[in-house]
Amino acid sequence: MSFLNPFFLFGLVALAVPVIIHFINLRKPQKLAFSTTAFFRELQRSTIRRLKLKKWLLLAMRALAVLLLALALARPFVEPQLSGFNPRGGDILYTLVIDNSPGMEQVDENGPFYEQARQFAENILDRAGSDDRFLIIPTHGEMERSRPVSKNEAASILEDLEPVNKGNYTRDRLRFAANAVNDSPLDGGAVYWIGDGSRTSVEKAKDFDWDAYEIDRRQIPFYYVNVGSEYSGNVGISSVESPNQIVSKGLPVSVEVEVTNYGADPIVNHYVELEAEGRSQGQYEVELNPGQTRTYVFEIVPDQAGTISGSANLAGDQYRFDNTRYFSIQVPESRNMLLVYEDRDDQQYDSYLTPVLEAALETSAQLSFESVELADLDAARLSEADGVILEGLTRIPEHLTGDLQSFVQDGNGMIVFPSETSRMEDYNRFLDQVNAGQFVGLRGDYGRFEEEVAGFDRLVEGHPILDEIFEQREEDEIRITTPRIFYHWVYDTGERGSTTIFRTNLNEPLLTEHRIGNGRLIVSAMGADPGWSNFPVNPLFAPVYYRTALYATAFEDRTDRMHTLGEQFDKTFGFDDSSVEITLNDLQLRPETEFTGSGLRVTDDATDWKPGLAVVSSGDKENVVAVNQHISESDFSTLDNTELEEFLEAEFNLIKLIDTSAMSSSEIDTTLQAAGFGSEIWNWFIWLAILFLILECVISRLYRVEKST
């Protein structure tokens, strides 16, 4: 233990005061003549000993109280080796994890938050020794140095440090800092995390698994430095989505732009615009209450196949880093559909799907199809298709189950129509394997046209298959002659999430969509011939099942069209050449590549990426990926000191939370000095002194002082 104000140790001279008083009180009392001395003769020797013990106890209590008060004035602190640092004079490794998120551009009366953070880091450098070493670790973007540097090099790195709109790697950087202190050959070290206490950064550091990193957190002294007095309001584009729809040349494509007001005040006079392929697609005025989110829908009509890419842009907001969000949509040339049938010699099967697909082929180049007999279907044929229709099969061969499952999981579409002779157990075996529910019974009799068992429920738009079939105003209700049903299988869609496209008026599914891996499976509870219903002769049949086939093959795994900063870039593309280049803003990268069963896997750490449109190219093929910041970066809200301290104590070996917003420059200097050399414990001495004074009063109260002559 040492002292910050050793001058006050001269106060220990005051210890002489209670001692002198004690010995003055020990003077022999003056003898007086009394008529009798019988009282004194009756005093017991034991009573006199207790009286002497009481006086010595009082002396000890008073002396200890004076001693502790003198020591408290000298500001004792635990030696650095006990608080996690090294003895004074040894070499220290300072790891400074500095929040350089876009939110650190906020300004209060003390200036920009990042300038305050940098100033505190520079103060640490000023107080450090010439042989101390430093790691300057930003939370966002790439690290300039991954090894300890000298004081001068650290000052140069700090000078260049500023907020960046790049990925958030807070947890990884804290782990790196802890590892550096743990493995350091120097005499000691500590981690300083300097930031504004934002909820975003705290969320990124939650569940810090010390055991996984094989570090004893008790050995890593941790300080949090909180800069900035209060957070500002912010408005940002929180998402740009192309909802689940059929994307094709000449068909309108909806783009939904979501804008969020993260602040505590309403906003007006803001505008959001969508730009695609260099052209404006429209604009909306934005007015939002505090915490409100609103979605604005734009429409694009692609005039050719290929990639539609662009951005949504917000005007009128102070913080511009999140006022642009990028998107990318692929419009395919055409889609290849396999219509799988079963050669049944015993009876004539009337397919109403074939004429629909043939008519579509003559009027549009969006969908091509080929009929293939079940016996000729194999993995090679499947690999050439974007979708497959299993129409009226008696059974689904067990040897094809695995190939069909992989086909859908890899991002393709499948439609299943049973026939009146189908074996339900064969279909259920396949459905069970892909976790897509079960057929549990049947209603009616096949071909009994006079006995209607159900009808179609009212058609409601909201699914891409039904959307835009009808020309109507928004308030109009779809009115059609609904088909009559004579026979259908009863389908239990299962616990897994599914979407019912058609259902009966008895609320039983007729056409259901399941997401399987990266693709979709559409299951019909009826066959596509008139023995089940009069739907095949209804005018609605052709457009519905053409759009069903188009929808099944139009699925695109949009995760391969988006990348969020802060994550590793890891996408699989249908490239034949492993030589891949990524162009993003002013970057040209050569990522790592690896051929897998589903294509060419392309990876990059992406730490130096900024938002934009990344063009991933190989030979004459290319894909455009929209790169955006995580939406949490737009939320500037912070934790109060109590919340922040609770979190830090739960996750780290917190030595001290330093709130610079409530400190003057001199207080910051004093705090830095104490933090650099140990932990102050003067308050312990004050409490102990008070305790001894209380004990002195209790002893005096319980025992009366008696005088003898």
**pLDDT of the residue at 389:** 94
Q: What is the pLDDT of residues 377-431, one digit of tens each?
A: 988 888 888 899 999 898 898 889 889 999 998 888 999 999 888 999 999 999 9
More confident residue, 30 or 422: 422
Q: Yes or no: is domain 557-635 CATH 1.10.287? A: no
**pLDDT of the residue at 708:** 42
On the question of pLDDT at 285 being above 50, the answer is: yes
Indicate the pLDDT class of residue 348, thresholds 50, 70 and 90.
low
For residues 589-596, average pLDDT = 93
**pLDDT of the residue at 84:** 43
Percent of the chain with pLDDT over 90: 45
Indicate the pLDDT class of residue 268, thresholds 50, 70 and 90.
very high
Q: What is the pLDDT of residues 559-579, one digit of tens each?
A: 678 999 999 999 988 888 999
CA dihedral 659, 661, 665, 669 (to 10 degrees): 10
Indicate the pLDDT class of residue 82, thresholds 50, 70 and 90.
very low
Let me know how long the chain is.
709
Weakest-pLDDT range from 182-191, 233-242, 355-364: 355-364
- Tokens for 652, please give them: 């780290």
Indicate the pLDDT class of residue 50, thresholds 50, 70 and 90.
low
For residues 121-132, average pLDDT = 89
More confident residue, 681 or 408: 408
**pLDDT of the residue at 526:** 93
Cβ atoms 98, 135 nearer than 8 A: no
Closest CA to 414 of 556, 551, 244, 552: 552
Q: What is the pLDDT of residues 465-474, one digit of tens each?
A: 887 676 655 5
Q: What is the pLDDT of residues 632-663, one digit of tens each?
A: 999 999 999 999 999 999 999 998 899 987 77
Q: What is the pLDDT of residues 100-116, one digit of tens each?
A: 999 999 999 889 999 99
Q: Which helix (H) or strand (E) holds 643?
A: helix 641-651
User: For the purposes of burial, counting CB atoms within 10 Å of the CB of 515, is it exposed (0-12), middle (13-18) or buried (19 or more)?
Assistant: middle
**pLDDT of the residue at 75:** 63
More confident residue, 655 or 351: 655
Running DSSP on this structure, what letter comes out for residue 149?
B
Note the pTM of the prediction, 2 decimals: 0.73
More confident residue, 639 or 51: 639
For residues 143-167, average pLDDT = 93
**pLDDT of the residue at 153:** 95
For residues 129-155, average pLDDT = 93
- Tokens for 137, please give them: 């670790």
Q: Yes or no: is domain 235-332 CATH 2.40.160.100? A: no
**Phi, psi values for residue 519, rounded to 5°:** -120, -165
CATH code reported for the domain at 347-553 = 3.40.50.880
Indicate the pLDDT class of residue 670, thresholds 50, 70 and 90.
low
On the question of pLDDT at 17 being above 60, the answer is: no
Q: What is the mean pLDDT of the chain?
A: 83
**pLDDT of the residue at 80:** 46
Percent of the chain with pLDDT over 70: 82
On the question of pLDDT at 445 being above 50, the answer is: yes
On the question of pLDDT at 290 being above 70, the answer is: yes
- What does the alpha-carbon distance between residue 280 and residue 255 come to, in Å, rounded to a whole number? 13
On the question of pLDDT at 221 being above 80, the answer is: yes
Q: Judge whether 235-332 and 557-635 match in fold.
A: yes
Indicate the pLDDT class of residue 127, thresholds 50, 70 and 90.
confident
Weakest-pLDDT range from 270-284, 323-337, 681-695: 681-695
SS3 645: helix
Residue ranges of the domains in the chain?
2-79+684-702, 90-232+637-677, 235-332, 347-553, 557-635
- What does the alpha-carbon distance between residue 375 and residue 372 come to, in Å, rounded to a whole number? 8
Indicate the pLDDT class of residue 354, thresholds 50, 70 and 90.
confident
**pLDDT of the residue at 477:** 60
For residues 536-541, average pLDDT = 86
Can you give 626-645 as a three-state secondary structure string?
EEECCHHHHCCCECCHHHHH
- What does the alpha-carbon distance between residue 112 and residue 168 come to, in Å, rounded to a whole number? 20
CATH code reported for the domain at 90-232+637-677 = 3.40.50.410
